[in-house]
Amino acid sequence: RRPSPEDLVEGLNPQQRAAVEHRGGPLLIVAGAGSGKTRVLTHRIAHLLATREARPGEILAITFTNKAAAEMRERVEQLVGPAARTMWVSTFHSACVRILRREHAALGMRSSFSIYDAADSQRLMQLVCRSLDLDPKRYPPKAFSHKVSDLKNELIDAEDFAATVSDSNAFDQALASAYRSYTQRLQQAHALDFDDLIGRTVHLLRTFPAIRESYRRRFRHVLVDEYQDTNHAQYVLVRELAGVASEGWDVRERAQADWAAVDETSEQGGAPGAALPPAQLTVVGDADQSIYAFRGATIRNILEFEEDYPDARTILLEQNYRSTQNILNAANAVIARNSGRRAKNLWTAEGAGPRIVGYVADSDHDESRFVADEIDRLGDSDGVKPGDVAVFYRTNAQSRSLEEVLIRAGIPYKVVGGTRFYERREIKDAIAYLHAVANPDDAVNVRRILNVPKRGLGDRTEGQLAWFAERERISFAAAVERHEEVGLPTRAATAVARFAELLAGLRAMVDGGSSPAEILDAALDRSGYLAELRASDDPQDASRVENLAELHAVAAEFRDAAPDGTLVDFLERVSLVADADQIPLDDGGRGVVTLMTVHTAKGLEFPVVFVTGLEDGTFPHQRSLADPEELSEERRLAYVALTRARQRLYLTRAAVRTSFGVPNQLPASRFIDDIPRESLEWRREESATEAMRRGWAAGHGGRSRGGDHDGDGDFAPAFGSGSRGERGGTGPRTRADGGVGAGTGGGARGVSERGGAAADVPSLAVGDRVTHDSYGLGTVVALEGAGASSVAKIDFGGAGTKRLLLRYSPVTKL
């Protein structure tokens, strides 16, 4: 039996019920996290269908992610049955793609237009800048790409922009011509970038009234979830689709007019300018959860909704149905410190629940181990299933150590919105090099790297080598060595000779007793693999370099734990975690642990949540520390993170975190300080001795050999990656047990002295100005080491002073 309209409002509180039953003018539901906004949207749709006020085809519901769209469709389907399938429930982007595929002719586009993702459009911008002969130092293509995106989100096209640029502004002039040429190239390629999907749809609706009317006739109900994250273009799109009540339009007449409009269906697309009443618009959001300012989202859209839609009704929801009071107290306290917000206080009828658990780990690895141990323990003692648990981090690079520990602990997991570390292309490539060096018979891996990075060895050469190997009954690698006998064309022969030399050189390192870390470094340097990634403007390549730095850290860690370990030992260890088949899958419907960034977690909920990396410089992100607006956004992000938890919340941090291959000592996140003491229980705190030691270190400047320490508190290899692997206890480390200056020296030791040519390491001098992909502009204040192992201390102003292992750092000399 289908639920009756009355069933659909049962169990809702009076405000929720009012929101579901509201009819007429625009409706704004603003409310804190977990107060049932999404639930109200879902029930409202079901209610409209159950009362037969709307047919499924007349509903357009917009969510922020495809996952959320699928969930909403499923929930409505559960409520009203399969008829729900003809509804449009989608993200802004997919809705626009659908409209553009139908209406392409009006815009003079092929229906098969292609869609450029962020990486594609950055690459295109790079080509444009090159052909315009723009100096990449003064006019960075990446910055242009972002600017163009910002302009598009404001619906400012290339011509509009060019018209506003003054003759004296060289930067904007360059930008204007790049924007124009970028636009032309997209057109020639019959391609649209992500921002165009919205912008072109807006243009379509504005330019062709008949088309606009046909969509307005069709969608009598427009509902938008996560409205706080719409940008200007999306805002205008909603307004174009829904329409705005013309002045004097009588709301009470609207219901009738609606029906009239629906009845005279829209074969002719409706007469332009016909007085069609606006669609019923429902938007729900929470200004405190606006976390996409970097994509042009503006809280203004929600704050000024009432001004823009004078006949709008606003409903506030305050009861939270998701979390315990302890979790809400923490979230309320963190967000309360943002200024210029409407105060609201979430409460729950569910009771206090267990206290939030805090944990301070020595290192990122120890932090991951705590997470894994705790997931195990909860399973044993409380029957918590892996599927009940989510682990959040601020940036994707933080997932590696978590993944590794979870794999070793046999806990099934998935990474949402990213590829698992050991499945990433660059990691597989790097490991393939090591396999090829360790085992010449490993044809698969030798063949994998034959033309990686590109050395002009295509399928043809590979085929000839393979054929020769077969004929001679030798391995593929042996065929590479005997390339002179294969009869290759000169150019290929030269390239193969170089490849053979490269492998031989690396094998000699193995015989000479080099550590796996050194061999890895040499492979990446001598092959030119790292240099190629570093030279690229593609942001994906920058994150590939970061991932390789992570792999370097794995190898350095291995060396510290097992100084006599061979390359084969290392590969064995890595294969155990790298082999996808070893990763346990969901066993018997118990689900898998979800790993994701906080951004991806918006709108979701889990019984158990771990928020990791709560350090100033990680979360809040380093970039935000000097900028109050960005810091407010980080605070909203923290609010989103905390409010995902239903019953149990864990907050963890690492005293030392390795990034770009160098360990950094980071202070506790300021967000932790805001949480009321009585809601938080420390499972392991930074010990008094440790805090003292830090103070002591700061007071004394460098404190151990080799100038490893600069005393400014952002680098402390003394108890860094050391012997993490075997350390048994998790008790607080004290000075007595070797925490200080004992010289396990994870950092500088993680650097190879014999690592090879390292042509890609920028040669810097004290005083040089540099830019870093994440930290921005900086000045070199000190240098240590040489060649591949150089470490630079760079002052990034507001972003702080950082010690960076140059080989793996996205640093460019200006």
> Does residue 97 bind ligand ATP (CB under 6 A)?
no
> Does residue 280 bind Mg ion (CB under 5 A)?
no
- Residue 383 assigned as binding residue: no
DSSP three-state, residue 35: coil
HSE-up of residue 180 (Cα within 13 Å, Cβ side): 12
d(CA 797, CA 622): 11
Type and span of the H or E element at 650:
strand 645-659
The residues near 584 (Cβ < 8 Å, ≥ 6 apart) are 407, 410, 411, 412
d(CA 76, CA 69): 11
Q: What is the CA radius of gyration of the chain?
A: 29
**649 closest CA partner among 329, 234, 221:** 329
Q: Name the residue number minimizing CB distance to Mg ion.
A: 38
- Are the CB atoms for 326 and 355 separated by under 8 Å? yes
- Residue 38 assigned as binding residue: yes
Residues acting as catalytic residues: 37-38, 225-226, 289, 644
For ligand ATP, which residue of 249, 321, 347, 696 counts as binding (CB under 6 A)? 321
> Least distance in Å: CB of 593 to ligand ATP?
20
d(CA 722, CA 747): 9
> Does residue 32 bind Mg ion (CB under 5 A)?
no
Query: 150 contacts which partner out of ligand ATP, Mg ion, none, CB within 5 to 8 A by kind?
Result: none
> Does residue 663 bind Mg ion (CB under 5 A)?
no
Query: 80 contacts which partner out of Mg ion, ligand ATP, none, CB within 5 to 8 A by kind?
Result: none
Type and span of the H or E element at 282:
strand 280-285
- Site residues for ligand ATP, window 771-810 (CB under 6 A)? none
> Does residue 230 bind Mg ion (CB under 5 A)?
no
User: Which residue, 33 or 446, has its beta carbon nearer to Mg ion?
Assistant: 33
β-pairing, 59-63 with 356-363? unpaired
- Are the CB atoms for 636 and 289 separated by under 8 Å? yes
Type and span of the H or E element at 649:
strand 645-659
User: Which residue, 36 or 140, has its beta carbon nearer to ligand ATP?
Assistant: 36
> Does residue 345 bind ligand ATP (CB under 6 A)?
no
- Residue 35 assigned as binding residue: yes
- Site residues for ligand ATP, window 502-531 (CB under 6 A)? none
> Does residue 290 bind ligand ATP (CB under 6 A)?
no
User: Which residue, 9 or 593, has its beta carbon nearer to ligand ATP?
Assistant: 9
- Site residues for ligand ATP, window 571-610 (CB under 6 A)? 603, 605
**195 closest CA partner among 158, 239, 140:** 158
Per the DSSP assignment, residues forming a β-bridge with 221 are: 59, 280
Residue keyed to tokens 């080598």: 465
> Least distance in Å: CB of 227 to ligand ATP?
11
- Residue 668 assigned as binding residue: no
> Does residue 347 bind ligand ATP (CB under 6 A)?
no
Phi and psi at residue 542, to the nearest 5°: -60, -40
Taken in order 78, 81, 87, 93, the sign of the CA dihedral is: positive
Query: 555 contacts which partner out of ligand ATP, Mg ion, none, CB within 5 to 8 A by kind?
Result: none
Instruction: Mark residues 640-659: x for contact with ligand ATP by CB under 6 A, - for none.
Output: ---x----------------
Total residue length of the chain: 814
Per the DSSP assignment, residues forming a β-bridge with 780 are: 794
> Does residue 687 bind ligand ATP (CB under 6 A)?
no
> Does residue 11 bind ligand ATP (CB under 6 A)?
yes
Instruction: Mark residues 32-51: x for contact with ligand ATP by CB under 6 A, - for none.
Output: -xxxxxxx------------
d(CA 369, CA 373): 6
- Site residues for Mg ion, window 571-630 (CB under 5 A)? 603
> Does residue 38 bind Mg ion (CB under 5 A)?
yes
- Residue 323 assigned as binding residue: no
- Are the CB atoms for 305 and 283 separated by under 8 Å? yes
Query: 286 contacts which partner out of Mg ion, ligand ATP, none, CB within 5 to 8 A by kind?
Result: ligand ATP
Query: 278 contacts which partner out of ligand ATP, Mg ion, none, CB within 5 to 8 A by kind?
Result: none
Bind-site residues for ATP: 31-38
Binding interface with Mg ion (CB under 5 A): 37-38, 603
Binding residue numbers: 31-38
Binding site for ligand ATP (CB under 6 A): 11-13, 16, 31, 33-39, 286, 289, 321-322, 603, 605, 643
